[in-house]
Chains A and B, each alone.
Chain A
Amino acid sequence: MYGLGILKGLSVTLKHFILTFVDDAKRGKARYQSPQGIAYRQSTELSGLFTVQYPEEKLPVPEEFRYIPFLVYEEEDGQKKLRCTSCGICSKVCPPQCIYIVRSVDPETGKPVPNPAEFCIDVDICMNCGLCAEYCPFDAIKMDHDYEIASFDRIKHHVFDISRLAKPVSYYASIRPKNYKTEEEAREAKAAAKQGAASV
């Protein structure tokens, strides 16, 4: 019969439609506005609606998620100490060349000091590729998880300088616990090896 194919197709739509309500009734309130609900809507057992109602609900991002980079600083006796040594590898590897670094110079000797005087990222140009974080030998620049950076004035707000880029190690450890752990272990192993070599 002509038209049967269309009806068959529409039965699939109808099934989807009904399943939406069945699933809502079965799971009740926990399906929406709760972390378990979001996890369920991201899982492959899902039936029914799969939309997430941003901004009331937000998908959790995986650890490797990357957005605009930030600079990691350590807090030592109340002082913020950037891990960055201004070696310039991030700025060299950056494909769109959006990282600008001014190296500090010791005012007395005129020799470069391992510390950036200025560090800015033009976030209009940054393509979030993550190469800077990947090749930084000091784990000083890392990719962020904060993806809500819209602003009203691009001239004023879209060039991030040190004050905007610097974030504490504790923040880094909170967004990337696994990476942080492996890096710390590697660092300790290296320090131990160095100490061992020195004592021998």
Chain B
Amino acid sequence: MSDHSAIVSTIAEVLPEWFLPDNRPGYAGLIVPSERIHEAAEYLKDQKHFDMLTSVTSADYFPEDRLEMVYHFRRSTGGEPLRIKCILNRKDSQIDSLVDVFPGAELQEREVWDLMGVRFMGHPDLRRILTWEGFAGHPLRKDWKEPFFEEEIKPYKSRWPDGKFIRAEEKNPLGDNLCFPPGFDPESWVPDKDETLYKSMTRVAKAGEDGFDSDTIIVNLGPQHPSTHGVFRMVARLDGETVVDLKPVMGYLHRNHEKIGERNTFLGNMPFTDRLDYICSMSNNFAYALAVEKLLNVTPPERAEYIRVIMAELTRIVNHLVANGFLLNDLGAFFTPVLYSLEEREFILDFFEAASGSRMMCNYFRFGGVVRDLDEHMMGMLKAILERLPRKMDELEKYLIGSEIVRVRSEGVGILTPEAAIANSATGPLLRASGVPYDLRRADPYSIYDRFDFDVCVRYHGDIYDRFMLRIDEIRQSIRILKQAVRDIPNGPVLTGKPQYQVRVPAGEAYGRVEGPKGELGFYLVSNGKSNPARYHVRAPTFINLTSLAGMSRGNKVADVVTILGSIDIVLGEVDR
């Protein structure tokens, strides 16, 4: 019995009326009665040291009258996640909010409310997050249908054998496929002026130390603003130039990736995962492949494992180069450092292009391996990159580290304490720069990371400068891993079994996760034995890391908020999904 299952069974034995094991075939974890979830979470946190709530999601089991809340708890010291479920009914789905125990649940619970319609009692700010206020229905419910709805699952029958092409616009966009909330008239509708949003923000009119009783104002940064790295909006309440409170507003790029994923076949989701975090498509592929492989119970051949690690680590280098470059852009070092970073990135993208056929949308992983092998020429390319990168990293470091402007703007700014980072479920560089040496590659190893010799980078001040430096440290460690991988890579096949375009996935659930460049990237899948996933959830690291944004920004100047956001390193394709 593994360490983890021992913990699960002891918890279930000690408190049998609270925790029931989930005995369905293919399922794991514990079921908690929904009215007990708050106490159970407190118990797990205080008595069992599960101090991180990494993921909050839900699954709809329509046509059964059954909605499940799915929580993944982790220990910040490492180990497998503990999966807790609560069973709700679909009509009157409500459950206690965990925000007061785990502040990291805030955005995630809002997402579940928005997309699945579970009401969280006691949530401080339960508004929709990805869709707009007044959106009709909750789109992830199985009985919700989108405009231009064709069929429940792909492939659609209208494509073959009688696939007469019809342009989507010709299907009358204002016909019966368009659905408004009851009582909504698009002609007379006036958008609300975000009153609820503004009212939800703390207003501490500071009867000042300087003797002036100043009022606060609300400033919207974004959504169309070059500093927000996409269409992202920050609503800040300012006292003079100081941020009193801040709320992230997102969803401008929302396309309901998860609903698309539930319509797609398992394989068809692979290229869609590229589009989540489009800087690091290989990591996204990796996490999704791991999740499906857990369900299928296959392991890739040795050579494929090494290729996967090579790709994942190159992706990490690419991401950190881009993140640091654009962070310096935000600091005012306009485009020179980012272009030096992009120059190095080009070589890696050339390598990706030769391997997968595309520079950014790689679609390179398959269930049980990778698409194609790396030949001698490509290994030569990789070696040349590894020879050049350390040299260039030294140069980049020399270029920027000493600069007084960078240091003044970033040291001691946007501090995130380790306690707050863990409580907010932060992962990735954000967490490690706050002094928590938590890296899934070590904490809960996957693939073949246990074979490589590398350090978990950690820095202790939790400010922008440390996040910046931590990324440079991580690039160095990635180069170390890559050198070992290039040295040790064996010959052999790169795919287990025959390539299949319609995989039959056994019923069950799985949570596949990797330490992506931005944090823990997880895919929670439920299969009902058909060719498409019944539930497909993406635990997006940057989305959850944004929970920490308000806390880091409070008390800082408004100009620093831009750099604090840059230091979290968000990609809106993943935040909004």
Closest CB in chain B relative to A153 CB, distance in Å? 13
Is B178 in the interface zone, CB < 8 Å from A?
no
* Bound form: Cα–Cα A93–B160 in Å: 11
Q: Does A6 contact B (CB under 8 A)?
A: yes
Q: Which residues of the other chain, B, contact A86 by a CB distance below 8 angstroms?
A: 160-161
Instruction: Let me know if A130 and B357 touch, CB within 8 A.
Output: yes
Shortest Cβ gap from A197 to chain B (Å): 21
| A44, B270: Cα distance in complex, Å | 31
- Mark contacts of A97-131 with chain B using CB atoms, 8 A cut-off: 1 yes-contact digit, 0 otherwise: 10111110000000010000010101000011111
Partner of A9, one of B154, B155, B353, B403: B403
B371 within 8 A of A: yes
A102-B161 contact given A4-B402, A128-B361, A131-B268, CB 8 Å threshold? yes
Interface size on B, residues (CB 8 A): 52
A187 CA / B44 CA spacing, docked (Å): 61
- Contact indicator B398/A9 (Cβ below 8 Å): yes
Tell whether, in the assembled complex, residue A127 and residue B162 are in contact, meaning their CB atoms are under 8 Å apart. no
Contacts A64-B355, A92-B502, A127-B271 given; does A3 touch B404 at CB 8 Å: yes
The count of chain A contact residues (Cβ–Cβ below 8 Å) is: 48
Residues from chain A with a CB closer than 8 A to the CB of B400 are: 9
Q: Which of B160, B384, B401 contacts A103 (CB 8 A)?
A: B160
Contact B372 A131 (CB under 8 A): no
In A133-170, which residues have CB < 8 Å from any B CB?
134-135, 143, 155, 159
Q: Are B267 and A8 in contact (CB under 8 A)?
A: no
CB within 8 Å for A62 and B353 given contacts A91-B160, A103-B162? yes
A66 interfacial by beta-carbon distance below 8 Å: yes
- Cα distance, A108 to B311, chains bound together (Å): 55
Question: Could you tell me the distance between the alpha carbons of A131 and B271 in the complex, rounded to whole angstroms?
Answer: 9
Distance of A89 Cα from B267 Cα, bound (Å): 13
A2–B404 touching, CB < 8 Å = yes
Q: Interface-forming stretch among B53-61, B343-351, B567-575?
A: B343-351
Q: Interface with A: B163-171, B233-241, B244-252, which one? A: B163-171
B501→A95 contact, CB < 8 A? no
Contacts of B402 in A (CB 8 A): 4-6, 8-9
B160 and A64 contact, CB distance less than 8 A = no
B395 at the interface (CB under 8 A from A): yes
Give every chain A residue within 8 A of B155 (Cβ-Cβ).
91-94, 97
0/1 string, B320-357, CB within 8 A of A gives 1: 00000000000000001000100100110010011111
Please give 19 more A-B residue pairs, beta carbons under 8 A apart, in addition to A91-B159, A122-B167.
A5-B403, A6-B404, A6-B405, A43-B384, A44-B385, A64-B355, A64-B372, A65-B353, A86-B160, A97-B156, A100-B163, A100-B165, A103-B160, A103-B161, A103-B162, A131-B270, A131-B501, A134-B499, A159-B167
